Amino acid sequence: MQGSESFPNNPDAASSKTRSLLSESKIPENRGLRDSLILQNQTAAVLERDLRSTIAFPRTIPRPVREKIAEILTLEILFGQPYEIKDPERFIGTFGAFYPILLTLRNSRPWPKLRKIARKSRGAGTAGLKILLPLIYEIMERFSDSSTSVLHAGHLKELDAGMEEILSQFEKILKETLLMWGNTTSSEFSGRNAQGIRNSEEFVLQEAVLDFMQKDGYQEFLEKIMEGVYWRMNEFISEMEENLELFDTLALLFPQRNWSYSVKELKKEPFYVQLKMLKNYSTFFEKNPDLRKIVDFIGRREFDPPSDRIHLSPFGKNRIQTVRFSDSINNLLPMEAAKLLNPSLKKKFYAEMLEGKLLTYQLLGKYYTGPPRIKPRGTMIVLVDTSGSMHGAPQTLAKSAVLAMAKRMLSQQRDMKVILFASTSQHLEIELSSRKKMSEKFLNFLLYTFGGGTDFNTALASGLKSLKEKDFQGADLLFITDGKSEVSDELVLARWEEAKKKYNAKVYSLIVGSSGAGGLSAISDYTYFVEMELDSEGSSGFVRLIESTEQKA
CATH number for the domain spanning 478: value is 3.40.50.410
Confidence (pLDDT) at 300: 61
Cα-based angle 121, 434, 419 (whole degrees, multiple of 5): 100
d(CA 255, CA 125): 15
Contact indicator for 116, 77 with CB cutoff of 8 Å: no
**Cβ-proximal residues to 41 (8 Å cutoff; 6+ apart), any chain:** none
**Cβ-proximal residues to 364 (8 Å cutoff; 6+ apart), any chain:** 312, 313, 314, 316, 318, 319, 320, 321
Pair 357, 406 in one domain = no
Pair 135, 186 in one domain = yes
- Domain-embedded: residue 263: no
Confidence (pLDDT) at 442: 84
Among the candidates 233, 254, 272, a domain finishes at: 233
- Domain-embedded: residue 542: yes
Pair 311, 432 in one domain = no
DSSP strand pairing (507-512 vs 380-385): unpaired
pLDDT in tens, 436-461: 888 888 878 877 777 777 777 778 88
Pair 180, 100 in one domain = yes
Pair 183, 43 in one domain = yes
Pair 315, 390 in one domain = no
Pair 357, 384 in one domain = no
- Domain-embedded: residue 428: yes
d(CA 11, CA 202): 13
Number of helical H runs and strand E runs in the chain = 20, 10
- In the chain, which residues have pLDDT < 50? 1-28, 146-155, 187-194, 260-261, 371-374, 553
Pair 7, 145 in one domain = yes
Among the candidates 215, 233, 251, a domain finishes at: 233
- Domain-embedded: residue 259: no
Range of the domain at 357: 307-368
- Domain-embedded: residue 243: no
Pair 499, 521 in one domain = yes
Pair 107, 184 in one domain = yes
Among the candidates 335, 368, 401, a domain finishes at: 368
- Domain-embedded: residue 246: no
DSSP strand pairing (380-385 vs 541-550): unpaired
Please give the tally of structural domains in the chain: 3
pLDDT in tens, 39-68: 888 888 889 888 888 899 888 898 999 999
DSSP-based three-state secondary structure for 366: strand
Pair 349, 450 in one domain = no
- Domain-embedded: residue 106: yes
Pair 436, 361 in one domain = no
**What b/e readout covers 491-506, taking b as 16+ CB neighbours within 10 angstroms?**
ebbebbeebbeebbbb
- Domain-embedded: residue 238: no
pLDDT in tens, 468-505: 888 888 788 888 888 776 777 778 778 888 888 787 78
What backbone torsions phi and psi does residue 551 show, to the nearest 5 degrees? Answer: -105, 120
